[in-house]
Structure 1
Amino acid sequence: MARIAADLAAGGHRPEAFAAAVWQALGRADAGFLAGVAAYRGHPWRRELADPPAVWAEGGSRLLDYGGAGPVVVFVPSLVNRAQILDLLPEATMLRFLAGQGVRPLLLDWGEPGPLERGFGLTDYVAGRLERALAAVPGPVVLVGYCMGGLLALAAAQRRPDRVRALALLATPWDFWAADAAQAQAVGALLPALEPMLAALGALPVDAIQAIFAGLDPFSIAAKYRGFARVDPASGRARRFVALEDWLNDGVALAAPVARECLAGWYGGNAPARGEWRIAGEAVVPARLRLPSFLAVPARDRIVPPAAALALAGVLPGALVHHAAAGHIGMVAGSTAEAALWRPLLEWVLGLPP
């Protein structure tokens, strides 16, 4: 501080004036952030899309059928966010788009973890819920996993090659240390501090999950709300922003055993890339898969760094790598999602051998 003050004085600037200018700039930024939050909270948009019928259900989980005629494609989302991101708005719904283009998409909605699911580990979700959902539909199917759901889909494809004829992985991490090993290990190191909460609740609450992800890019939240303060509230852009924020803020708690596996095993230990991640005692090894595969890697992904997802290209035999010109969420629900992902994925599915 003394050096800054000396430099200011040498340039003919009073340190008091500099400090005042800094506080004014911070005040303007803070006002923009608060204006954006107020605009979001006061926006009239509410979700009106109704869920399609379920063809299978177990506990809080459902397999939703979006109709359409053609190859059956089962989508597996993350466990920590609601499945609605793939069916967000009438103008932003990957699943309804595909249903109108010669594909029959089905969506596995994991649901909230109830008393039973709070004791689930990843084996229960993969070798239990996911495999039973696959058994409930005509197969073999094209299996598509998004983000964390991609890891679950990959494990299921290895275990049940009779039920899966092709595999698509969208923004799916594999090497958690590829981009920033220290940051990933820091996330894993949070587990001991979270243990009292996990033991008491049997789950990692939504607020805790959001805090962890916010820590990966702490300045982005304020920046996006400042930007929203300048958006016309009657525009389609505003409606999409509100829909996405509602989805982000309406997350799903993570069963305590799953939270431990993900934080300690995936982030802390990089278990998938090291060949140490197991489902029902069997190591998940992508090199064992012998089926067509599609990897979508967003170019601007802050949640799953491209390097973490691209690691699968080197271990999944014959994978077609698609570099999507979008971010983690924009790839599936953004204004350019149709060109960035929907159509390339559709072309790949329709081009698969019968």
Structure 2
Amino acid sequence: MVREALAQDAALLAGIAAYRRHPWRRTLADPPAVWAEGSSRLLDYGGTGPVLFFVPSLVNRAHILDLAEDASFLRFLAAHGAHPLLLDWGWPGAIERQFTLTDYVAGRLERALEAVAGPVVLVGYCMGGLLALAAALRAPERIRALALLATPWDFHAEDEEAARSLATSLPILEPLMAATGTVPIDALQTLFATLDPFGVTAKYRAFAALDPASPRAVRFVALEDWLNDGVPLAAPVARETLGGWYGENATAQGAWRIAGLPVNPAAITCPTLIATPARDRLVPPASAAALATVVPHATVIAPKAGHIGMIAGMSAPQALWQPFGEWVAGL
């Protein structure tokens, strides 16, 4: 067992070293912005067909949806009969550090939607799915259809103890939040690493065995660069999400509110797609699938991929991009 442990440690260190010296760098330019407010921009990927308005998470860079030329969900859709827009939340400045979830949804997201002509297909990814859900309930006349990709709902569905443990970190984070107005990137990454504590070491050991020039190795580096380039979370939002979502399961309990009104997915009336990736370790499939039990007549797909792999992994075109495009075409 000692030899095995030493061999694993050697592979882990080799994988980390190989990642650090890999030459790949993201050079893909952003498309033009058609709207901006504060640190946020609405990026227009062009194309013809239905407008798809993408809402990403607040804690990661939006370009996971546009990672590279050969790993861009949005450019794929633009080339296959749709017109994607991406709301890039940006880095929280002095104003955004004071934002609550209500400020993000009933303020910035709604104003971005108002800048777009006609009803849109609103697409939320991860945390962004909850923001999109709330926006769809508040302004149904602006929403043609709704897609919720790897979106949590029942935060206590599979591991209540792990979810509650994230909430217990809030008192420890308070000094950081008082000093910076945010939960800094390093603290966020440490917190969410506890949801899959062995995943980080396993992936670097596997990377050590890859040919650095192979497409799989290049994609690994692209995804790791994105993961390591996070965004701080505004302190009021951190308290709402860690305490309310993870600690109290406010979403599934019917206690989550935006601008004083409950976020009730049972009130959704537009066509809805729910994607619950089968190998998701950040949003357990049961947590995301809980939405399908309350959203009326939802179409549910279970891509054979993980939380990030579904969006930008090697199998993403087959796992999500093509099925999603077919759903949009059928609206």
TM value normalised by structure 1: 0.93
CA distance in 2, matches of 1:240, 1:192: 37
SS of match in other structure, 1:129? helix
Partner in structure 2 of residue 158 of structure 1? 137
Instruction: Give the letter aligned to residue 346 of structure 1.
Output: G
Shift of 1:188: 1.0
CA distance in 2, matches of 1:135, 1:329: 29
**Once the two structures are superposed, what CA deviation does each residue of 1:46-87 show, in whole Å capped at 9, x if it has no partner?**
101100000000011000000000000000000000011010
2:64 paired residue among 65, 85, 93: 85
Shift of 1:263: 0.4
Instruction: Give the letter aligned to residue 126 of structure 1.
Output: V
SS of match in other structure, 1:179? coil
* Pairwise CA RMSD: 0.7
1:29 and 2:8 matched: yes
**Once the two structures are superposed, what CA deviation does each residue of 1:297-324 show, in whole Å capped at 9, x if it has no partner?**
1000000000000000111011000111
1:104 and 2:87 matched: no
Runs of 4+ in 1 over 3 A off after TM superposition: none
1:298 and 2:282 matched: no
Partner in structure 1 of residue 301 of structure 2? 322
CA distance in 2, matches of 1:39, 1:239: 11
- Unaligned runs of at least 5 residues, structure 1: 1-21
Identity of aligned residues (%): 68
**Once the two structures are superposed, what CA deviation does each residue of 1:114-139 show, in whole Å capped at 9, x if it has no partner?**
01100001000001110011011112
Partner in structure 2 of residue 244 of structure 1? 223
CA distance in 2, matches of 1:179, 1:28: 33
2:18 paired residue among 34, 39, 46: 39
Shift of 1:289: 1.2
Partner in structure 1 of residue 208 of structure 2? 229
Shift of 1:190: 1.1
SS of match in other structure, 2:277? strand
Partner in structure 2 of residue 3 of structure 1? none
Partner in structure 1 of residue 195 of structure 2? 216
Shift of 1:197: 1.0
1:331 paired residue among 283, 305, 310: 310
- After TM superposition, the structure 1 = structure 2 runs for residues 94-173 of structure 1, keeping only pairs within 5 Å, are 94-173=73-152
1:48 and 2:2 matched: no
**Once the two structures are superposed, what CA deviation does each residue of 1:160-206 show, in whole Å capped at 9, x if it has no partner?**
01111110000000000011111111111111111111111100011
Partner in structure 2 of residue 11 of structure 1? none
Between Structure 1 and Structure 2, whose CA radius of gyration is higher?
1
- Unaligned runs of at least 5 residues, structure 2: none
Kindly tell me the number of residue pairs found equivalent between the two proteins.
331
SS of match in other structure, 1:299? coil
CA distance in 1, matches of 2:26, 2:255: 41
